[in-house]
Amino acid sequence: MSLSVWFGLLAICCLGAMSPGPSLAMVIRHTVGGSRLHGIVCAWTHSIGIGFYALITLFGLAIIFKQSPLLFNSISLMGAGYLAWMGVKALGSNGGMEQKLAKGDSASLWQAARDGLAISLFNPKILLFFLALFSQFVRDASDHVSQIIIVVTPLLTDGIWYTIIALILSHPAVLPKLREKSIWIDKLSGIVLLLLAARVLFTLEL
């Protein structure tokens, strides 16, 4: 893989990671409702999901998913259901994050890890992103080193970007202000997740 091709890959990965969406909402929620570490854990488990999609795209499995409507729709339905469940839970929390913070409690690191991984694995939009944009770089991965690079690049780009977000939001000058608005972060996260679930259902190929 040439350096120019890698720079193109890196640019695509940066654009994908930096686009606002449910992943950002989830990292914010765990950083504000937990701690800097919670946000970072959520960020890196999310990146594992991104790496998984890069891997299956590399081996051509993503095309199989796309060409099998039954399989793709089944995965999409499961994903939409899980996203909707997380959305309803956040939306109906009635200040759950705020109440936990007042008690000195926070979500566990396991919950942060679970949500980070789930928000990437159960989002069919990410699979479509890899099929549309990422797959064009697969043909340049003609050796093992290039194949490793093509999987590791999106994984590290995603993890580093959301780690930066967690570090910024957990700064002492920022975090207290965000925690004052924690009830609205709960609500906004719920709305974003429900909208994504609805979008997944709307775009099913029936």
pLDDT band at 184 (very low <50, low <70, confident <90, very high): confident
Residue 181: enclosing H or E segment and its boundaries? none
pLDDT digits (tens, 9 = 90+) for 116-163: 998 888 877 777 777 776 666 766 667 788 888 888 999 999 999 999
> How many angstroms separate the CA atoms of 104 and 54, rounded?
39
pLDDT exceeds 80 at position 112: yes
Q: Quick one: pLDDT at residue 17?
A: 83
Tokens coding 166: 């967690």
With beta carbons less than 8 A apart as the criterion, state whether 189 and 25 touch: yes
What are the percentages of helix, strand and coil residues in the chain, rounded to 5? Answer: 85, 0, 15
Quick one: what percent of the chain has pLDDT higher than 90?
A: 15
- What DSSP assignment string belongs to 67-126? H-HHHHHHHHHHHHHHHHHHHHHHHTTSSHHHHHHHHT----HHHHHHHHHHHHHT-HHH
Tokens coding 203: 């775009």
Residue 190: enclosing H or E segment and its boundaries? helix 182-202
Tokens coding 205: 């190929």
pLDDT exceeds 60 at position 62: no
Residue 93 vs residue 97, higher pLDDT = 93
- pTM of the predicted protein model: 0.76
Q: Quick one: pLDDT at residue 167?
A: 92
